Structure 1
Amino acid sequence: MGLVSLLGLAAPSLASVSEDEAARLDQDLTPVGAERAGNGSGTIPAWDGGLAEPPATYREGEIEADPFPDDKPLFVITAENAALYGDKLTAGHRKLLEQYGPEYVMPVYQTRRTAAYPERIYERLRDNARHAELLDNGNGVRSTIATSPFPIPQSGLEVIWNHILRFRGEEVSFRSAFATPTVDGSFNPVLTEYDYYFAYSEPGVSLSDIDNKIFYLKTRIMSPSSLAGTLNLVHETLDQVRSPRLAWRYQSGERRLRRSPNLAYTTDLPNSSSLRTVDQKDMYNGAPNQYDWRLKGKREIYVPYNAYRLHQPSASADDIIQPRHINQQLTRYELHRVWVVEATLRTGLDHVYHRRVFYIDEDSWQILTTEEYDSDGNLWRVSEAHNISYYTVPVFWTTLELTYDLKSERYYVDGLDDGQKPYDFEPGFRGNEFSASAVRRSARR
């Protein structure tokens, strides 16, 4: 933890790490940059490669089976016993237990370090450690590709870029629903089809090949009928200050594909009932230029992890959604080491969140939970990412995302699969399918 403290206080750096430091990725650190060893008490095990192969119970073409079906909670954290675990709880989880107890609980399971990636991604991480650099303004990176650029981070900004550019496959297509339940738990799910093409992760691609575009996204709303046929197209850029993201929206009633201005930062996420901002999608996205980022080191805390029960077809939206919060009996929390990053709004800039705290998994660079504070310094919202290892790739990614609004006692939930088809990580997209003209033609058919 002495090294962690030093890193936490280090000033932002524009340089890659030394050869000796990079060599640690094959020694005491994993290729992703996590500590290979477990903790001193044995409650966090050593990393053994993660869940790199499907379990015996998995059948090709099916939704990922739970690789740990016999696991039972070690204990359950409640509002009544939360003080016993206070040093391993975030401020956000302590608040949720206090405000939503006794119904809101946190079942804690055995820690399983399942995050794993293809070998070529590990090779890229080793190369990134030696060559990746922040742009002078911190709004992008240079000399890196495919995955997280800074496996041995020296600043909060580098950690956030690790999340933004983490490997999520090369392309993926899936369907899931999101909802914004009322206080009494009633909801109308919005079923959406998602197509991602991660240009920066394609084998053999260089930064010069992608022209500042890191991924492309198409979404199509399937239901309810009042929204069906609505399409969104996003061209996500690397340096969004130099070249802002491009976004278009097609609404069936208008039959026109229109540019979507201001689809960034503090703008309300479409159809989110103003419970989430655009930059909270994927827990955090977009240009980081509105905040000062401070790396506060590492902590061992209870975080959502290996959420296979939420991912199973048997977990319907009706099973998951409850008044004020989701069905916590379906959740799984584990003790993991996380990087802690605090973001403070820069003077003179405008955002509904004046301070944000991020807890980022050391094994995957996935943001697992966050806290969002208002202009008066009050904790306003708490967000969670419930993740699994999609072991057929393999890749560690969300299956369900949440934002709890503590003021209205409502929440936004995304990732309600309801028995939809499995994620397809080999849909065979072509880059020209994500042009505005191609989407316009497909919308009119």
Structure 2
Amino acid sequence: MFKRTLLFSALLACWGLSTAQAATSAELEQLGKKLTPFGAERAGTVDGSIPAWEGGLARAPAGWEPGHGDPYGADKVLFSVNAQNLAQHQAKLPAGQIELIKAYPGYRVDVYPTHRSCTFPDAVAQRTKQFAAQSKVGADGWQLEAAAGEAIPFPLPASGVEAMWNYKLRYIAKGRQFDAAFLMRDKGGTLTQVEQKSYEFYPYNDPAVKAPADTGNIEAKLMYDLLSPSSRAGEMYLVHAQLDKPQDAWIYFPGQRRVRRAPSFAYDNPIAGSDSLYYVDQINMYTGALDRYDYKLVGKKEMIVAYNSYKLVDKSNRYEQLIGQDYLNRDVQRYEQHRVWVVEATVKADKRHSLAKRVFYFDEDSWALLHVDMFDAKGNLWRAQEGSVWANPQIQACTSIEYVSYDLIARRYIADGFTQEGKVLDLTAGLEGRVNDKMFNSDELRRRGER
């Protein structure tokens, strides 16, 4: 064990050790001072590769809107990591990235100057500091017993499960709606494209929430209306992600004109149409109950991760050009050096999951999940999942929608949440009432399906 310090220098020096001490009032007092309001180190690194945090991208550049424009488009690549120089840089890469570079000729990681662009509303910063000392995990070791809404519950995490809750309840505004696609190539090169209208509601991003019960123990409500392919057009899915148990889910089938419960929409059940490359709890990088794993907070580390993905999400991109046969088009991927929290999750002795171990990498500034390495029961690296993150001044928060999941055994991958060809990308919908709690029930699902 090691003792927490105000600047967390011990975390960087003691990589590989875990924390167990709860944050003291003196340490919490440093939020917004030596630490950012979300618990990150405000200072940059000595070598300058990571700059100091100075408030993030709080105002949109002229002419910018989601999917249009890149605030850092003038930046040049500092260096690229590839098979030839991998040994020089692999200490700062997740295992999945290392394996992708080794496996595929031409796969590279382009590293740009680091911008700590993630910001947050003043109210969220104030509430995080006000309520952090009251947040609590239950006696079972994973359920959220106490936490206020519109706040990061554990800005100075003392355990892996606390870091997981920071990710699940991070501030991304109250709701959003967007047109998105699920994309996958078969081994012959044919691109499968499933398009849908997506609606997401996050009840915990509400200052009225004082405890989990105030949301009905709901983490998120999600609804998907499939538009293509024609064989599935009209299908609708409703998911209630619970704080204390597996998801509840419902499906509307247009041919039957009825809504049915989906009894097994959780954990490692494969997503329909994914050729078993993609599990339910990989949605949005990780979703669902935390009960099947033990979570170890390994510490904080400087790493090369996907960040400020404005070039990727730009609507000038076309899916045929983005989705290569073996990997995502490298020309649109931007990587930077950032400090990340690392959590190792191993399946409990009395539980089961096809992914016996996961390693999560969380951005220190936003608590976004940037990368996940996944291992089988024999300890072999099986899958690697990579998220995108970019600052959205409209909601004063960093946004994550697009992500890819590589199956390193099957040598195939899927891309999900891709919005480039979609018409709607409305991330203020929850703040302005276009997405609200009344939309996410089985009666509304049936009504929408029968329109």
Same fold (TM over 0.5): yes
Paired residue for 2:363? 361
Query: Do 1:279 and 1:286's aligned partners in 2 also have CA atoms closer than 8 Å?
Result: yes
**RMSD of the alignment, in Å?**
1.8
Q: Give, in whole Å, the separation in 1 of the partners of 2:421 and 2:391.
A: 18
Choose which of 245, 253, 265 in structure 2 pairs with 1:263.
265
Q: Give the C-alpha shift of residue 394 in structure 1.
A: 1.8
Matched, 1:93 2:101: no
Question: 1:131, CA displacement in angstroms?
Answer: 1.2
Q: Which amino acid aligns with 2:185?
A: P
Q: Which residue of 2 aligns with 1:135?
A: 138
The counterpart of 2:168, out of the listed 164, 180, 205, is 164
Alignment of 1:41-440 (within 5 A): 41-58=47-64, 63-101=67-105, 103-137=106-140, 138-207=142-211, 208-240=213-245, 244-427=246-429, 428=433, 429-440=435-446
Are the counterparts in 2 of residues 32 and 363 from structure 1 also a CA contact under 8 Å? Answer: yes
Deviation of 1:426 after TM superposition, in Å, equals 3.5
Q: After alignment, is 417-426 or 264-273 more displaced?
A: 417-426
Work out whether residues 375 and 383 of structure 2, in 8 Å CA contact, stay in contact via their aligned partners in 1. Answer: yes
Contact 2:391 2:398 in 1 (8 A): yes
Mapped partners of 2:134, 2:247: distance in 1: 26
* Inter-CA distance 269–405: structure 2 relative to 1 (3 Å threshold): same
What secondary structure is seen at the aligned counterpart in 2 of 1:247? strand
Q: Deviations over 1:251-304 (max 9, x none)?
A: 212221000112111111232221111111111111111111111111111000
Quote the Cα distance in structure 2 between the aligned partners of 1:270 and 1:258.
Answer: 15
What SS class does the counterpart of residue 285 from structure 2 fall into? Answer: coil
* Aligned AA (2:239): V
Q: Which runs of 5+ in 2 are unaligned?
A: 1-8
Question: Structure 2 CA distance, aligned partners of 1:290 and 1:74?
Answer: 41
Q: Per-residue displacement from partner, 1:390-418 (whole Å, max 9, x unpaired)?
A: 22112212242010011111101013223
TM-score with structure 1 length normalisation? Answer: 0.94
CA gap 1:319/1:231 in 2 versus in 1, 3 angstroms: same
Deviations 1:360-401 (A, max 9, x none): 110111110111111111111111001211221122122420
Residues 184, 324 of structure 1: 8 Å contact kept: no
Identity %: 37
The question of whether the paired residues in 2 share the 8 Å contact of 1:183 and 1:409 is answered with no
Contact 2:135 2:154 (8 Å CA) reproduced: yes
Q: Residues 219-257 of structure 1, C-alpha deviation per residue, up to 9 Å, x if partnerless?
A: 1001111111110111222111xxx42210112122210
Q: TM-score, normalised by structure 2?
A: 0.93
1:31 aligned partner: 37
The count of corresponding residues between Structure 1 and Structure 2 is: 437
AA partner of residue 2 (structure 1)? A
- Counterpart amino acid of 2:10? G
Query: Match of 1:155, as an amino acid?
Result: S
The 3 A distance-change label for structure 1 pair 417 and 33 is: same
* Secondary structure in structure 1 of the residue aligned to 2:387: strand
Q: For 1:129 and 1:147, how far apart are their aligned partners in 2? A: 8
| 8 A contact 1:128–1:150 mirrored in 2 | no
Quote the Cα distance in structure 2 between the aligned partners of 1:170 and 1:434: 14
